[in-house]
Structures are given as structure tokens and as C-alpha cells.
Amino acid sequence: MPLVAHTGLPTFDRLRLEGETVLPKDFALQQEIRELHIGLLNMMPDAALEATERQFFRLIGESNQIAQFYLHPFTLDELKRNKAGQAHVDEHYETFDQIKEGGLDALIITGANVTGPELSTQPFWDPLIEVVDWAYDNVTSTLCSCLATHAVMEFRYKQKRRHLDNKRWGVFSHSVIDRKHPLTIGVNTRFDVPHSRFNQVDREQFEQANLHVLVESEEAGIHLAVSEDLFRLVLFQGHPEYDVISLLKEYKREVVRFSKGEIEEYPPFPQYYFSKQTEAILSEHMEQVVSAIESGSEIPEFPEKLITPGLDNTWHDTAEAVINNWIGTVYQITNIDRTKPFRITVDPNDPLGLR
């Protein structure tokens, strides 16, 4: 939570110039500990629907803000689901109309599975634009994950993602470009982030859109950027919400697809994720799978239980820190009445002094 400048101590001014949140005493006295309502537009397919809920709910719940968090999951009717997935949505999710009626302090939008190269032909395209446009005028800040970022970059900023020659897949090292922004204050200046995507929006495109880059990787590109007002839109290309086993589950899925003949090439290892020992185990398993296919024998069981204990999570603490900063900033600048339109103004003499 923020410091309160209850005296004229110069240290308060110095810390604020460094990017720390320091409230004037008269402003702090008007505040009350209160609830925050955060929406989760979950566009993930049925197999990942509940796991994605847990990942983002966990990040919110582990933040150290003194507030009561109400999480409001919803999805889009245009995304077709199987019987179990639809039953889960029907029982536990709200409708977009209910979301608009109650209002939100903040919104998270997940990625989604797509078919074909054009995002504008996907069933979620038009309803997603409606949600983002509503949130832009009525919600303090909207955080977009991976494909949601690509969609927003295309329909709001006219910057289409480009297809990569190879899948950007693994855990990559990143550096903080702006250390004084509210989202990166106090965060490690170098940290890891998982990525899993076939497409990318490049730095030049973020700059052409007048967006502000906060975190970047030499290998994986831009991870975190914010809108021109510095906070209304928060854009991730990576997946800081991933569990330690998320990339393993993706790798296993691709191995199973190869075993069934759905893809022609055996999947490569996600980069910088497995240890050398784990890669040796998986290489041996690959040889066994290929041999079984050639001989027509039973496919060997994937050695998941053997591998899982050796996986390292090198990104979750930093993900917590960024989300905690996000929530803290939302808490300080959001409207008390969340059903009223929200506006952010930026002091030209203090660009990070969001009001």
C-alpha cells in the first residue's frame, strides 16, 4: 500500500520522483479500505477454461493490497463450448450485460485459440471489440494477455501481428525498460516470462501506435507495454500467469498430437524451460514414441510424473509484483462509483502522476 506524506520530509518527494506511490495527507484521509471488482473475460477453450481462471485468480489473491477482491468471470456467447464447458459457464459465469450493470474497477482479458491467420474472421472479433470499447470508457484499466493484446493492437491501433518462422515457446529473460512506471516500480530489473505463440507484434509497431514499452526481451520481443495515457490498457505478449507445469502440458499435448498423426514433426523443447536431465529423459521418450509408431506397437506413457518435480518456476514472484502494482494503482485512481464513466488525466509536468 502507498506511503502517506504526513510531514514535509523531503524523502517523500524524492521517493515520488523515483516512481513510488506517495499520497498527500489530505487525499489519504478521504480514503477507506474498500472492495475492488475485477472482471475476467475468459476466452480460453474448454480444456483450459478453469485452469486459466485459477491462474489469474491466484495472481489477484496473492497481491498484498489491503482490499476485498470480487472476481467476475464472463465469456462470449460466440465461443462455442462442449457440454461440460457450457455447464460451467452457465452455473458460474456472469453475462456481459450483468458486468456492465454492476461495473468494474479493472478487467483482465485472456487469450483464445484461433483457426486461420486472420483475427478479424474469428467469432470473438466483434464482441471483443464491444467489450474493449466499453471498458476503455468505463473501467480504470484493462489488462490484455497475449492474443487479446494482438487483437487490441489490430482493431484499436491498426497494427497487425506478424507470423513467426518458428513458435516463440519457452521461458525467456526480460529487462525492464522503464523502471519508474507504476507497474514496474520495485520489480526486478531482469526476470523471466513464459511465451507461447506463433505470432508477434514488434517494438516498431508499439512505437508507431504511440504506446509505452515497459519490459522487453532480446529474444522474445516486447512483453509489457501500456497505452498512451500510461495505464488504461496494459498489454502482455507473454504469459506471466502460467503455472510451473503449463508449458509441460503444452509440450505433452503436442507429443500426443504427433503420436496420433495429427502433426508431421515431433515438437521441439520449449526453450530455457527443461533441465538437461529432463531433456535427456524426453529425448529417450521421443525415440520410444517414434519406434512404437514404426512398429505399430503401443505408444509409451508420457513421463510427466518423473519430470514435474524437476521443473523450476522463475517468473511467478515478478508476475505477482507487477499485478500487485497494477491493482494498487487501480485502487488509488479508480472511481468509488464504478458504474460511472472513468477518465484518466496525465499531468504533463509529471507524466506518471496518474489522476
- pLDDT the model gives residue 22: 79
- pLDDT the model gives residue 48: 94
> In order of start, what are the domains of the chain with their CATH numbers?
32-243+313-341 (3.40.50.880), 246-310 (no CATH)
- pLDDT the model gives residue 332: 83
Amino acid identity of 292? A
Q: Coil, helix or strand for 212?
A: strand
| Contact between 202 and 106 (Cβ < 8 Å) | no
- Name the residue with higher pLDDT: 285 or 30: 285
Query: Cα(60)–Cα(68) distance, rounded to whole angstroms?
Result: 10
Query: Cα(257)–Cα(198) distance, rounded to whole angstroms?
Result: 17
- pLDDT the model gives residue 226: 98
pLDDT tens, residue by residue, 56-74: 988 988 887 777 788 899 9
For residue 78, pLDDT over 60 is answered with yes
Choose the weakest-confidence range: 12-26, 123-137, 211-225: 12-26
pLDDT tens, residue by residue, 22-39: 778 887 777 666 788 899
Give me the percent of the chain exceeding a pLDDT of 70. Answer: 92
- pLDDT the model gives residue 29: 73
- pLDDT the model gives residue 10: 76
C-alpha cell at 238: 507473454
Rg, the chain, Cα only: 22
- pLDDT the model gives residue 341: 67
At 346, the pLDDT band (50, 70, 90 cuts) reads low
Q: Would the CA dihedral through 328, 333, 337, 343 be positive or negative?
A: negative
Choose the weakest-confidence range: 37-46, 132-141, 324-333: 324-333
- pLDDT the model gives residue 337: 67
- Name the residue with higher pLDDT: 351 or 252: 252
Taking the alpha carbons at both ends of the chain, their separation in whole angstroms is 17
Strands 162-176 and 212-217: antiparallel
Choose the weakest-confidence range: 2-6, 82-86, 323-327: 2-6
- pLDDT the model gives residue 35: 81
Give me the percent of the chain exceeding a pLDDT of 90. Answer: 77
- pLDDT the model gives residue 331: 87
Mean pLDDT of all residues belonging to the chain? 91
Catalytic residues: 146, 239, 241
pLDDT tens, residue by residue, 158-206: 999 999 999 999 999 999 999 999 999 999 999 999 999 999 999 999 9
For residue 353, pLDDT over 70 is answered with no
300-308 mean pLDDT: 97
- pLDDT the model gives residue 350: 61
For residue 116, pLDDT over 80 is answered with yes
pLDDT tens, residue by residue, 146-156: 999 999 999 99
Amino acid identity of 282? L
Query: Cα(343)–Cα(76) distance, rounded to whole angstroms?
Result: 26
